[in-house]
Structure 1
Amino acid sequence: MQAVILAAGLGTRLEPVTNTMSKPMIPVANKPFLQWTVEKLGNFDIIIVVRKEQKDIIDFFSERVTFVYQDMPRGTGHAILQCKDMIDDKFMVINCDEFITEEDLKKFSISEPCTLATFRHPNPERFGVFTIENNIITGVEEKPETPVGNFVNCGLYMFDKSIFSAIEKTKKSLREEIEITDAWKSMEPKAFLLSDWETVVYPWDVLTINAKILEESGSMIAESAEIRPGAYMEDPVAIGENAVIGPNCYIRKYSSIGANCKVGNAVEVKNSIVMENSFVSHLSYVGDSIVGRNCNVGAGTLFANLRLDGKNVVMDIKGEKTDSGKRKLGCIIGDNVKFAVNCVVMPGKKIWPNMLVPPCMMVTSDIREQPCLHNHRQQ
């Protein structure tokens, strides 16, 4: 069977991480998120829809999949339409940012066309919400303030070639995009209920899925990793190739430390992702945070993860203050960021790639431009 993975989106809500890598290549449990999906699909004939500039995806998966190019993201319907000449008959479509269990994918693969996956979500207002009558999906409302139910659109579909004519008849949305949710409305799609589901919309969703994968898979410690005396690790964690852990550090559960990283003396890492070639060498705390590639965290630097008032951490997403729904959430650090000694990054703050953070700086707002390296104690 064929499977089409939609991966051409820009991922702007995940900045600054997506400034230097495609959204599907963000590592969770030390593998690109998209790799987990490809592995779960097993023997499927996989087609991935990408933009030509997404070289990181193309280079990584070139021997395993076929690529179809979308010049610019113009909606999910438009992305699927690019595959028209390559599809035999029945085929699965999945968004690149969906976490779906392997068991659910196997069960869904025998569904009839046209079938759409759904999940009962406790916060349906964040997603497209289905109206379902007698297991037939009769409508969808995008991010309603007062949802009619809690069955959400999970970005997993089963179609046959008839979907292409439906897409071609679909008018553009207000965003000037062709939406697959408009195309299937006349096809009386059936609903398929998933047992579990997560999706990556915001940076903190990456940490949620990292924890979920580690919980399923258990600890993954590379044979080439060096675990030095006094290092204490709580299962489950992921430790990459040639990483050096210790001496005398604490790696708490649901942490992923990438290849060639160093976590050294008197460092605590909790529920965080530290990407490849990054160093947290001494006397530091990394809590509920994402640290990009090739970063260096200077001695005494702390990534705070809890507001003093105990309220949910708020993060600026594309200019809007967004409630993360989490009491504990640290910072999001882009690639190639270097911290001097004794810095503090407050909860929910982001630092763009290639920044140099001067000594003793307290980061209380996002850093998008290089701060002055002298006489600045607060940003």
Structure 2
Amino acid sequence: MNGREESKLSLVVMAAGMGSRFGGLKQLEPVGPSGEFILEYSVYDAWKSGFRELIIIIKEENRDLFHEAIGRKIMNFMEVKYAFQDIKDIPDEFRENEEVKKRQKPWGTGHAVLAARKEITCPFMVINADDFYGKETFSEMARILTEIPKGTGAIVSYPLERTMTRSGGVSRGLCSTNEAGFLTDVVEHTDIRYEENRILSFGEEVMEVKPDTQVSMNVWGFLPEILPLLSQEFTAFLENIRDPLKDEFQLPSAVSSMIRKNSIRILAGRSTEKWYGITYKADKETVKLGIKEQTDKGRYPERLWEDKDGR
């Protein structure tokens, strides 16, 4: 331990994306027995694991929507803050670039974390709003965040087969680690899908991926010291951007760059939980059934926020 056992832990949720393949604001799709959203289960698991602050990264125009749907419930359990991801939030020297000024698409997950830089003051966990991670994932990250020294971050990865859908292709970051248990690289594959009982990645070449391959589901843990490093990576990204209208500054790529520069080490934790997510509309029923099964087993109450003890 390094004296941070009593530190506040923050959960940072990336919720600014609209979900183009899904076709709407999938973060607010009811999936629980009492109409809860996926995000509520992540927040509940985080609260049970010792997180006491929630920072939701959204588009500013969705602030009231998220607060009424989620924030108002959670305020009785955790401090709730909002951070706004804005495509105009870039270093001054790039704001007059004519191509950049035409951009309509968000800058990506690395930029999303930077959008919360003014709110982040303590060790924090980063997740997607539309993924169901399971309580083990949060307890594992909470344990790591109370122990890691400066210059170190963390990832909690999953076996690929526990993150797949039969509804179509998915994007997954394939993780590589060294013998010491630290992440060495995350390589993004943008179209991984089942072909009968095999899992294939379709890119410039088609390759088979083993079911037990560890993949990133954007479950990261950092100390606030990561933020200036991430800002430097964003500047470098903009300096070398090929397509200012479409290229995205993704968190896994930024972290991989930091690892190569020896500016950070990333401890690789693992989760054995079953991941659920809504990439396609057909996935919603699978998620609902999975949560119902876990509720029936007593892992979650019928109503998540019934009282302070979570009964």
TM-score, normalization by structure 1: 0.53
Q: What per-residue deviation string (whole Å, max 9, x for no partner) do you get for residues 126-154 of structure 1?
A: 31211222222211221143266521111
Deviation per residue, 1:272-291 (Å, 9 max, x gap) = xxxxxxxxxxxxxxxxxxxx
Name the Cα RMSD after superposition: 2.5
In the TM superposition, what are the counterparts of 1:23-62 in structure 2 within 5 Å? Answer: 23-29=26-32, 30-42=35-47, 43-54=51-62, 55-62=64-71
SS at match of 1:8: coil
* Larger proportion of strand: 1
Alpha-carbon distance in structure 1 between the residues aligned to 2:37 and 2:11: 18
Q: Which of the residues 232, 241, 252 maps onto 1:181?
A: 252
Give the 5 Å matches for 1:88-167: 88-111=121-144, 112=148, 113-122=152-161, 126=170, 127-134=172-179, 135-143=181-189, 144-145=201-202, 146=207, 150-167=213-230
Q: Which residue of 2 aligns with 1:85?
A: 118
Describe the SS at the equivalent of 1:81.
helix
Give runs of aligned pairs for residues 1-379 of structure 1, distance below 5 A: 1-15=9-23, 18=24, 22-29=25-32, 30-42=35-47, 43-54=51-62, 55-63=64-72, 64=75, 65-72=80-87, 73-111=106-144, 112=148, 113-122=152-161, 126=170, 127-134=172-179, 135-143=181-189, 144-145=201-202, 146=207, 150-170=213-233, 171-172=237-238, 175-185=246-256, 186=259, 187-196=264-273, 197-218=275-296
Q: Could you tell me which amino acid in structure 1 is paired with residue 174 of structure 2?
A: V
Structure-2 residue corresponding to 1:338: none
Q: Distance in 2 between matches of 1:195 and 1:158?
A: 18
Render the CA deviation track for 1:274-322: whole Å, top value 9, x for unaligned: xxxxxxxxxxxxxxxxxxxxxxxxxxxxxxxxxxxxxxxxxxxxxxxxx
Higher relative contact order (CA 8 A, sep 6+): 2
Computing the radius of gyration over CA atoms, which structure comes out larger, 1 or 2? 1
Q: Distance in 1 between matches of 2:253 and 2:60?
A: 27
Gaps of 5+ in 2: 1-8, 88-105, 190-200, 304-311
Identity rate, percent: 23
- Runs of 4+ more than 6 Å apart: none
Distance 1:13 1:141 in 2: 21
CA contact (8 A) 1:98 1:155 kept: no
Q: Is the 8 A contact 1:93 1:157 kept in 2?
A: yes
Query: What is the TM-score when the length of structure 2 is the normalising length?
Result: 0.63
Contact 1:163 1:184 in 2 (8 A): no
- Which residue does the alignment assign to 2:195? none
In structure 2, do the counterparts of structure 1 residues 148 and 190 end up closer, same or farther at CA, with 3 Å as the change threshold?
farther
AA aligned opposite 1:181: P
**Whole-angstrom distance in 1 between the partners of 2:17 and 2:270:** 26
1:158 and 1:147 map into 2 onto residues whose CA distance is 30
- Does the residue aligned with 2:55 lie in a helix, a strand or coil? strand
Count of residue pairs the alignment pairs up: 217
CA pair 219-121 structure 1, distance change in 2 beyond 3 A: closer
How far 1:61 moved relative to its partner? 2.9
The answer on whether the counterparts of 1:116 and 1:189 sit within 8 Å (CA) in structure 2 is yes
Contact conserved, 1:166 with 1:184, CA < 8 A, in 2?
Answer: no
Classify the secondary structure of the residue corresponding to 1:13. Answer: coil
